[in-house]
Structure 1
Amino acid sequence: MAVTDRVRQRAPENPPDSKSVKRIALSHKVSRWDVKFSPYLYISPFFLLFAVTGLFPLGYTAWVSLHNWNLIGGQGDFSGLENYAFVLSQPFFWNALGNTFSIFVLSSVPQIILAITIAAVLDANLRAKTFWRMGVLVPFVVAPVAVGLIFNNLFADQFGLINEGLTALGLDPVRWHSDSTVSHVAIATMVNFRWVGYNALIFLAAMQAIPRDVYEAATIDGAGRLRQFFSVTVPMLRPTVIFVVITSTIGGLQIFDEARVFDQYGLGGADRQWQTLTMYIWELGWGQRNFGRASAVAWLLFLLIVLIALLNFFITRRIANQGGRK
């Protein structure tokens, strides 16, 4: 009797039925699924939007580049790599490629140097810090067309402000719209005007993330402000420099707005002396109404950007690794 009473006491009065057990098992399974798949669901909107606005246009452009595609007639016959062969045989393509690289180098290199310098100044103890930090971002929010109109008045051949200043100093005026090199300098100046402040704020955020203890230790060791900048600040900005270099490369090889509005015709000059690859794509697509050839140039530009971005990444990473070992 005693053993039977103990068993009865231990046994639950209302044992769970099979439905309750299944419900509990299902809730545990849903909880595991929630923990496992929720992070992917949170980031899925970005990938869905990127697939619609990025991957699909990229793949569709590749499909168009393999056909004789006209703006009015639409898709034509399959041509394979004929559009690529035609584009690569055109001197206008190589001229646009050289102009793109020239403007890219003239804009990206000074842009990064100026951005780091401005960020270092903004990181100092200045009065009205917020005002100056907001001020450097103003050129970035100005419309490219407005920037082009302003700088067209500065770099005008006959009545430009810069040429009037040179004439007042007894120097010969510069033919900004005739000479290839100086036209690239003028366009690069417009690009730098728009993007230096944006990159300066990126470098400023990275500078403020550097521990202040490092600067205090450098001050105790007798390092001045300039020595601290080159020995402490710049080496610790390597990851940010890599990021800015890659983004500047991608943006610099896609220059269109500044070069497009540099004259009233938008063809890159009388001799195409500042026509970029993106302007050449626009001319083929909307000027000659041949979307197949324009898409071929777009894909060549895409492959070029990927190649240069990878090259920049490996070079900067190697420099960073060497600096870390030292």
Structure 2
Amino acid sequence: MAVLTPTAGRGATDPPGPGPDTTPRPARRIGFTQRLGRWDVKLSPYLYISPFFVLFALTGLFPLLYTAYVSVHQWNLLGGQGEFVGLQNYADVLAQPTFWKALTNTFSIFVLSSVPQVLVAIALAALLDQNLRAATFWRMGVLVPYVVMPVAVSMIFGRLFADQYGFINELLGVVGMDPVAWHGDRFASHVAIATMVNFRWTGYNTLIFLAAMQAVPRELYEAAVIDGAGRVRQFFSVTVPQIRATIIFIVITATIGGLQIFDEVRLFDQQGLGGADRQWMTVVLYLYDVAWGNQKNFGRGAAVAWILFLIIVVIGLVNFLITRRISTSDPRSGARPRRGA
């Protein structure tokens, strides 16, 4: 039986049917509810994040700008605001040898603390990444020093590193070594303060490294095992390339924290500010001494704060450039060890 199409029966000479309607139609009016919904989609993300920026403007941005205003005025703790002096406060700070000594001490303590801290933290994270019994207990155990109050840590380590009757010097005497002047010698005081910093922050950085290691795809390790790579080779050829962005993050944050160190150096010896010869005074402790200590000069103290801020900004820019270079490269390149390596 033949199937008839819609055009069946129409003659070849019949005129075609009417074409599509090309008459312009009036624009459809959007109701208030739809318009409100569109605005809600556009504005709601900014409203959700606005509390952070409001709090940052009140507690971060405004004090920063106000500190810049104070730094260009003669401002005394007792007398209040004085006349405008421009960059004279900055010139006075840079001309003081104590500032340069404090800056040198700050970088020395940072090097003695950050380098061992990063190495020990990444080693502990590699151990915790293995199949250990009671893994949660060990992972929480490394975080215990971080939750201890800095004041308590400083007081305890201040007694451990006491020049006389200190526990560390007693141990050195047992093994036949001479006692160390932890508060008198400049380098020894830096080692003692760096030990306190390492005690507090190594566990925290360990957990960050551990989180990064657990995000590494397991198939990379399986491929490395097939290629005959051992544990050490897997660590340097698979783990380290995959977490290098985290390593950069830890190094930069440790640098910023080292530049702002205050609690440990302030409580290392409560009798003075950085020792008799300022042998362990840091930049923040120097700022405290200038603003609230002997000089009581808020203008110079604000100048010290801004100099430290600019140093941190430079390090932050270096961090941005390094991170951008890492993000644009292939994170998997070089991760798999060569066969027979």
User: Matched residues in 1 for 2:161 and 2:101: separation?
Assistant: 23
- Alpha carbons 1:246, 1:313 under 8 Å: kept: no
Indicate yes or no: 2:46 matched with 1:46. no
Aligned counterpart, 1:95: 101
2:206 maps to a residue whose letter is A
Do 1:242 and 1:317's aligned partners in 2 also have CA atoms closer than 8 Å? no
Specify whether residues 35 and 93 from structure 1 end up closer, same or farther in structure 2 by C-alpha distance, changes over 3 A only.
same
Distance 1:308 1:178 in 2: 32
CA distance in 1, matches of 2:119, 2:185: 26
1:126 aligns with 2:135: no
Which string of whole-angstrom CA distances, capped at 9 and with x for unpartnered residues, describes residues 18-44 of structure 1? Answer: xxx97x521111111111111111111
- Correspondences of 1:173-184 after superposition (within 5 Å): 173-184=179-190
Match of residue 273 from structure 2: 267
Secondary structure, in 3 states, of the residue corresponding to 2:73?
coil
Q: Confirm whether residue 209 of structure 1 aligns to residue 237 of structure 2.
A: no
2:185–2:279 Cα contact (<8 Å) kept: yes
1:253 aligns with 2:272: no
- Residue 18 of structure 1 is matched in structure 2 by none
Q: Give the deviation of 1:264 after TM superposition.
A: 1.8
Structure 2 residues not aligned, in runs of 5+ = 1-27, 335-341
State the SS of the aligned residue for 2:80. Answer: coil
Residue correspondence of structure 1 range 107-186 to structure 2 within 5 A: 107-186=113-192
**Residue 28, structure 1, aligned to residue 34, structure 2:** yes
Say if 2:304 is the partner of 1:297. yes
Give the SS at the match of 2:285: helix
Q: Which amino acid letter does the alignment assign opposite residue 196 of structure 1?
A: T
The Cα of 1:284 is off from its aligned counterpart by 0.7
SS for the counterpart of 1:158 is coil
Matched, 1:241 2:247: yes
Instruction: Provide the residue aligned with 2:63 in structure 1.
Output: 57
* TM-score normalised by length of structure 1: 0.90
Pair 1:115–1:320, CA change in 2 (3 A): farther
Which one has the largest radius of gyration?
2
Q: Distance in 1 between matches of 2:231 and 2:178?
A: 41
Once residues 187 and 317 of structure 1 are traced to their aligned partners in structure 2, the CA distance between those partners, rounded to angstroms, is 33
Residue of structure 2 in register with 1:83 after alignment? 89
Task: Give, in angstroms, the shift of residue 316 of structure 1.
Answer: 5.9
Distance 1:102 1:320, change over 3 A: farther
Deviation at 1:310, TM superposition (A): 2.0
* 1:306 to 2:313 alignment: yes
One-letter identity of the residue aligned with 1:154: L
Identical aligned residues as a percent: 70
Deviations 1:35-86 (A, max 9, x none): 1111111111111111111111100100000111111222111111110011
Q: What secondary structure does 1:103 align onto?
A: helix
Query: 2:268 aligns to what SS in structure 1?
Result: coil
What is residue 68 of structure 1 aligned with on the other side? Answer: 74
More helix by share: 1
SS at match of 1:273: coil
Q: Which runs of 5+ in 1 are unaligned?
A: 1-20
Asked if 1:230 corresponds to 2:236, the answer is yes
Rounded to whole Å, the distance in 2 between the matches of 1:321 and 1:180 is 43
Secondary structure at the counterpart of residue 69 of structure 1:
strand
**AA of the residue aligned to 1:307:** V
Write the letter of the residue equivalent to 1:251: G
How far apart are the structure 2 equivalents of 1:169 and 1:323? 51
- 1:97-121 CA deviation, whole Å, 9 max, x = no partner? 1001101111111111111111111
TM-score (norm 2): 0.86
Match of 1:6 in 2: none
**C-alpha distance in 2 between matches for 1:189 and 1:313:** 29
Which secondary structure state, in structure 2, belongs to the residue aligned with residue 304 of structure 1? helix
Distance 2:291 2:242 in 1: 45
